[in-house]
């Protein structure tokens, strides 16, 4: 599909992005497009990507994988309800308190919670956790208290205090890392091993992993940084090769084509059309993966602070739609309005910190991804590329049906 190839080439030249990859799956025909252009390391002009084999760091695109593992436990009867208190499965959550400020030595001042945190709160980002790049108090924890550094992939870094009472607000944070901890405690398997056994192998997505092989280490795209002056350089050695803990919020690696095998199950009521294996029950897909699960009177709103500009730009996404037209399912941001790109109302989507973006349009039977590897998140050029890529997908879909 030359138009999509040209878009990816356009955005990976002239110093716009280090690389640009894209993929599209339709319900009727499966993987109809995968492509990519650019460099694994912008400082090495010989390091051209091979989009069929090069590994990406998926960052928060990991979240849908971890929440699917949790729903698989629910399907299996090993978790009773998403309204169960988290402490039923992870005793350590009893020690989590609410941050109300800092003393003169920048040590946190804490108070006990009143509400018990539930699995629903974790799934819907209404538990009270945050990230250092979306919260000034968390930035202080990161800088002064040796915690909230998610890239260390150490469990202690995720045992951070809450910003509010569980179940009272929406705020994006390390909630899904705690979901991964629930999966571990219930199954006695690391999140990576659980996903390999019950998701990756059953759908034939063998490159997806929480611990990169030697081959993947040698064939991965470096995370890059765009600096305020516009210069781009690679951040070599940023990520931990052998994580102590498999972070459900950001720890996944693999090929874009294999990630599409995962997204594809949501076009088929939880079944992999490639292998015929049912990953989640159809009723679980519709009642959890596709249904807004936010607590009563809690909405997706602009609560994210601009606290670490090198990691994320100011987030404007949630201001683009009325709060009544947005929701949060077990796995996705739900948008109940049609988009100018051609995407249907009632679509599901999310993203990853180095500017990876995906969507699922169940009504039209299409899912796609645009991906690069550059900080900060919500990069203007990456968003332009994603918008142009998605628009081109729908323009061709409308003209040619699912034959891209």
Catalytic, 126? Answer: no
The CATH number covering residue 69 comes to 3.40.710.10
* Structure confidence at residue 214 as a pLDDT band (50, 70, 90): confident
Predicted confidence (pLDDT) at residue 381 exceeds the cutoff of 50: yes
For residue range 147-186, list pLDDT tens digits in order.
Answer: 999 999 999 999 999 999 999 999 999 999 999 999 999 9
Answer whether residue 165 is part of any domain: yes
Range of the domain at 206: 2-399
Catalytic, 378? Answer: no
Answer whether residue 404 is part of any domain: no
Query: Which residues touch 70 (CB under 8 Å, ≥6 apart)?
Result: 79, 119, 123, 179, 182, 183, 330
From 11, 33, 172, 184, active-site residue: 172
pLDDT for the residue 403: 46
Predicted confidence (pLDDT) at residue 31 exceeds the cutoff of 60: yes
Mean pLDDT of all residues in 35-43: 96
pLDDT for the residue 13: 84
For residue range 335-364, list pLDDT tens digits in order.
Answer: 999 999 999 999 999 999 999 999 999 999
The Cα 160–Cα 127 span in angstroms is 12
The Cα 130–Cα 150 span in angstroms is 11
* Structure confidence at residue 295 as a pLDDT band (50, 70, 90): very high
From 37, 55, 60, 153, active-site residue: 60
pLDDT for the residue 15: 72
For residue range 52-71, list pLDDT tens digits in order.
Answer: 999 999 999 999 999 999 99
For residue range 96-143, list pLDDT tens digits in order.
Answer: 999 999 999 999 999 999 999 999 999 999 999 999 999 999 999 999
Catalytic, 89? Answer: no
Answer whether residue 100 is part of any domain: yes
Answer whether residue 223 is part of any domain: yes
Mean pLDDT of all residues in 186-205: 98
* Structure confidence at residue 319 as a pLDDT band (50, 70, 90): very high
The Cα 20–Cα 41 span in angstroms is 12
Answer whether residue 134 is part of any domain: yes
Average per-residue pLDDT for the chain = 96
Answer whether residue 46 is part of any domain: yes
Q: Do 25 and 366 meet the contact criterion of CB atoms below 8 Å apart?
A: yes
Mean pLDDT of all residues in 273-277: 98
From 33, 37, 47, 63, active-site residue: 63
Mean pLDDT of all residues in 251-278: 98
Compute CA distances 104 → 71, 101, 327, 377, whole Å: 44, 10, 39, 32
* Domain total of the chain: 1
* Structure confidence at residue 241 as a pLDDT band (50, 70, 90): confident
Predicted confidence (pLDDT) at residue 1 exceeds the cutoff of 80: no
- Where does residue 340 rank: exposed (0-12), middle (13-18), buried (19+ CB within 10 A)? exposed
């Amino acid at each position: 599909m030359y138009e999509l190839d040209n878009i990816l080439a356009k955005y990976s030249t002239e110093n716009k992005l280090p690389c640009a990859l894209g993929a599209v799956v339709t319900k009727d025909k499966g993987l109809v497009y995968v492509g990519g252009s650019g460099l694994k390391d912008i400082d090495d002009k010989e390091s051209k990507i091979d989009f069929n084999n090069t590994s990406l760091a998926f960052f928060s695109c990991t979240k849908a994988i971890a929440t699917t593992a949790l729903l698989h436990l629910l399907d299996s009867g090993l978790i009773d309800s998403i309204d169960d208190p988290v402490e039923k499965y992870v005793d350590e959550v009893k020690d989590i308190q609410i941050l109300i400020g800092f003393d003169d030595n920048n040590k946190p001042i804490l108070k006990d919670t009143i509400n018990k945190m539930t699995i629903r709160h974790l799934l819907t980002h209404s538990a009270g956790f945050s990230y250092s790049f979306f919260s000034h108090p968390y930035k202080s924890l990161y800088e002064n208290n040796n915690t909230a550094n998610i890239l260390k992939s150490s469990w202690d870094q995720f045992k951070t205090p809450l910003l509010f009472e569980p179940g009272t607000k929406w705020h994006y944070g390390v909630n899904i890392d705690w979901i991964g901890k629930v999966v571990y405690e219930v199954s006695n398997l690391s999140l990576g091993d659980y996903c390999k056994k019950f998701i990756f192998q059953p759908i034939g997505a063998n490159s997806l992993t929480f611990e990169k092989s030697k081959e993947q280490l040698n064939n991965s795209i470096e995370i890059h940084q765009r600096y305020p002056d516009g210069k781009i350089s690679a951040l070599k050695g940023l990520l931990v090769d052998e994580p102590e803990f498999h972070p459900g919020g950001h720890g996944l690696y693999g090929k874009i084509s294999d990630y599409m095998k995962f997204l594809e199950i949501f076009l088929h009521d939880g079944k992999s059309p490639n292998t015929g294996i049912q990953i989640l029950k159809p009723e679980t897909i519709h009642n959890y993966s596709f249904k807004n699960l936010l607590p009563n009177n809690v909405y997706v709103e602009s609560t994210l602070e601009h606290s670490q500009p090198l990691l994320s730009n100011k987030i404007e996404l949630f201001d683009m739609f009325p709060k009544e037209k947005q929701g949060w399912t077990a796995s996705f941001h739900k948008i109940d309005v049609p988009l100018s790109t051609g995407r249907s109302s009632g679509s599901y989507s999310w993203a990853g910190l180095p500017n990876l973006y995906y969507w699922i349009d169940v009504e039209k039977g299409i899912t796609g991804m645009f991906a690069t590897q550059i900080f900060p998140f919500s990069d203007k050029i990456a968003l332009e590329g994603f918008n142009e890529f998605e628009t081109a997908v729908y323009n061709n879909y409308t003209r040619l049906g699912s034959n891209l």
